[in-house]
Amino acid sequence: MKHPSLETTFGSPVAASVSGPRVRTARSQRRRVLLITSLGVFMVSLDTTIVNVAFPAIQSTFPGTTQVALSWVLNAYFIVFAALLVSAGRVADLVGRRRVFFIGLNLFTLASGLCGLAPTASLLIAARALQAIGAAALIPASLALLLPAFEVSRRATAIGLWGAIAALASALGPILGSALLEWANWRWAFFINLPVGLFAWLWGRKVLDESRDPDAVHWPDLVGVLAAIATVGLFALWIIQGAAYPWFDPRRLASLAGVIGLFPLLIWRCARHPSPVLDLSLFRIRSFTIANLATLLFSAAFFSALLGYVLFLTSVWHYPPLTAGLAITTTPIAAAVVAGPAGVLADRFGHRWIVVTGTVVFAVGAAWLILRVGPEVAYVRHWLPGSLLMGAGVGMAFPTLSSASMLALPPARFAVGSAVNVTSRQLGGVLGVAILIVLLSRPSTGEPAEMQFRAGWIFMGLISLAAGLVSLALGGKAHGDSRGE
């Protein structure tokens, strides 16, 4: 039998004094892991919006390059990022999340420097593709490093904070990008990543621990990755060539033939390979398929709107870069304000009607711009209401679609399901930017410049409504589609 005094001495009072520093150390470690992994996603998310703001300045630096050709500064990034995202997550599970995180971080940082130094448009596009490889490695590895640092009961909070930092970066992009353009030049939109990446690498080496998935045994399908890049790239090229060539021009026909030839190969590889670029089995789940199709369509509306805002304000209203950047922040701010309440309503009333309402509100915002915005500069009276409506629609639709895509997935498939949803966003971005560039690059018929932008806003409104129509097939309640139909 233990002596009472020994039990008092070596029992809970002393144990508490020992565990106290350990608890504080664990909490401090969690915060450090969250900050470092969030720095990576901050850079990638900031880059998405900051490059849109810099696009007109990039055009002026390379006057001999058409707007159609320069659209590949955006599309090359979207395509490579989308094609590699799922496979990069599998590589991280296989060879180590910490290792892949640092490879992605360093590659993204290096490529950012190359983007800033690029002497020609072609080299800039190549550096953007390299940047996308780094981003695709960095994003899934950062989340895989973050989750083990938190208890299961606190992981939703950690993911929420990680996502909030990404949203903050997207909102800061237009402001920071326009300020850099005002006081320096567009190259600093890329150079700004260098100190952030260097700091994250130096600090992360001391903080992050290596981890792997012991069940990961298969390398990703390299042939499938290349087929995905080529298929999406040729499809975007076929759309963009519509600005310069007729339907039956040999160049357009060759692009379309490439898509028709490669797409079956891509599907076959995804169906047969043990570690495919896209897990087709997930699309047997009805809610997952519907949510990702709606995400692709709505992303086309959203990403084309981001670019269209900047081009209109700088080319039609002749806003300086700083003013244009500040002017477009209303959309991400409105989205951030609405996203939280929209999530609460989705949990209570179901995802379907929140998404549909968001797509309709976005389309109403586009209709407002069509009917009210013209060559006369009238930001508060004409531009602001439309941009606020479109931002509110984004805040309702995007996070709710992401949540809806995960409804019927088992926990073991959350990571790959989330990666597929992000891939759908990127592919939607390719589609939206390509179509917008075609609409804005139509041969001049003497019509005012703003009329071409109205065609772009019509496209944004219609494709947003198409996303809403698809979303009508979602389950009515948050738990409504638990079957793999």
- Rounded distance between C-alpha atoms, residue 68 and residue 183, angstroms: 28
Is the pLDDT confidence value at 276 over 70? yes
Is the Cβ–Cβ distance between 144 and 91 less than 8 Å? no
Question: Encoding tokens for residue 287?
Answer: 């809610």
Question: Encoding tokens for residue 455?
Answer: 């065609």
- Rounded distance between C-alpha atoms, residue 232 and residue 59, angstroms: 24
CATH of domain 285-485: 1.20.1250.20
Is the Cβ–Cβ distance between 220 and 95 less than 8 Å? no
Is the pLDDT confidence value at 9 over 50? no
Q: How many helices (H) and strands (E) does the chain have?
A: 18, 0
Mean pLDDT of the 40-52 span: 85
Q: Which CATH class is domain 19-209?
A: mainly alpha
Q: Each residue of 379-416: pLDDT tens digit?
A: 999 999 999 999 999 989 988 888 888 777 776 676 67
Q: Each residue of 136-187: pLDDT tens digit?
A: 999 888 878 887 777 766 665 676 677 677 777 777 788 888 888 888 889 9
Mean pLDDT of the 296-323 span: 91
Backbone angles phi, psi at 350, to 5 degrees: 105, 155
Q: Where in the chain is the domain with CATH 1.20.1250.20?
A: 19-209, 285-485
Question: Encoding tokens for residue 274?
Answer: 């043990």
Start-to-end Cα distance in the chain: 62
Q: Supply the DSSP symbol for 379.
A: I
Report percent pLDDT > 70 for the chain: 87
| Alpha-carbon distance values, 391 to 280, 358, 361, 454 (Å) | 32, 9, 9, 18
What mean pLDDT value characterizes the chain? 84
pLDDT value at position 156?
Answer: 58
